[in-house]
Structure 1
């Protein structure tokens, strides 16, 4: 029954999207949790609510923009190169296990500053997720929407669990990196083929 709705190509794309989301979506919620932890309990819920709300809006805007921009010849090449950098950065951060928590300075004196910290961190971290998912989905817009919804659900609910899995089972991180690497190579190859052949 499952095969009736999805072709083998779509199942492969869906698998790539899930792996990319598993590796990338957790980071955003961890940032929100870290920033929120600096506040008293009554403000903590507000930081989490506004942080995730802002992240969801950012993710929707970035997904729509990226899906459109990746149709333009030349930008897929740039997107692919950016994803290669992301693969390297994730390899250093996730696989080698360097601590990224020290890089985030949280000013707990102001609620608005905390929200700004979350949004800024989320913008930079959402970009890699959106690029990976949009690149993997290609012109399969239904799968692109699925990837967007999945990343939001994972970010809002299961980030701590996912980060624990990745620390415990390194192969999940390796599979995620491989999925992003495949997307990067496909994006670069598509544009090189159009531009030079």
Structure 2
């Protein structure tokens, strides 16, 4: 057994896990927003079932990657859906329909569990193409390992790509759960989360417009350092900005609650003294 080949495979696997983790950051935010309308006990289940279906899709897609690459409509539909979510949230916010208590009650009653699971799956499918392409390109640089082939690829290359994708789904599942908890702790972060959703929709739109079949943008534009720098810079600005504003609002709320408690205590003291 050639240990240098094993070391090379191990290194590529680690790179794939990190790559999936980076690419899943925006995916996790989107999925957290999608499942947030469900009751607490169903949010994790929706993520689990949704990503389980996504896992099956990714496994099948590994055999069909060369065919799926040509279907630019998948990413186009994903882009439109995410932009719709962001725009709808902002419009509703301006119309005064986003009172926290009303939203929490009505959304939990009206949101369908399996409908949410289906949307989680569709979202991952829209996201999966670019990460799978990157994983395939990386795996194909590895030397052949073993004499068997799967899906037109060497068996070793296929397995490392498959395991990397599986690890990526685990990362998405964990990250999305943490984002849901963050949104519950800081409700005002919801608008920032929806802005990120819209920005990710623009990302998918860029991939669609640069697809060879569409040809509006250069097909290599999404891979340029300039675009990646702009995308992640905006992501970080929205995320940090939303977090800072949420912390400030939480601090003000605590101060108001503290002052209210002092006033109530003072009133009780005055009433007790007079009595």
TM range, smaller chain: 0.5 to 0.7
Runs (4+) off by over 6 Å: 170-173, 186-189
* CA distance 1:185–1:131, shift in 2 (3 Å): same
Higher RCO structure, 1 or 2 (CA under 8 Å, sep 6+) = 1
- Cα distance between partner residues in 1 of 2:18 and 2:206: 16
- Cα distance between partner residues in 2 of 1:183 and 1:6: 31
Aligned to 1:77: 70
* CA distance 1:146–1:117, shift in 2 (3 Å): same
Aligned to 2:55: 60
Query: TM-score, normalised to structure 2's length?
Result: 0.44
| Preserved contact between residue 30 and residue 159 of structure 1 (Cα < 8 Å) | yes
| Preserved contact between residue 32 and residue 180 of structure 2 (Cα < 8 Å) | yes
- The runs of 5 or more residues in structure 1 that have no matched partner are 37-43, 190-197
| Preserved contact between residue 63 and residue 148 of structure 1 (Cα < 8 Å) | no
- Cα distance between partner residues in 1 of 2:180 and 2:28: 7
Residue-pair matches, total:
165
3-state SS in 2 of match to 1:77: coil
Aligned to 1:25: 28
Aligned to 2:122: 124
Aligned to 2:165: 144
Quote the offset at 1:152 in angstroms.
1.8
Alignment match of 2:178 (pick from 148, 151, 157): 157
Q: Deviations over 1:46-89 (max 9, x none)?
A: x12421221231121122122222144xx3111x4432553465
| Larger radius of gyration between Structure 1 and Structure 2 | 2
Aligned to 1:99: 88
Alignment RMSD, CA only?
4.6
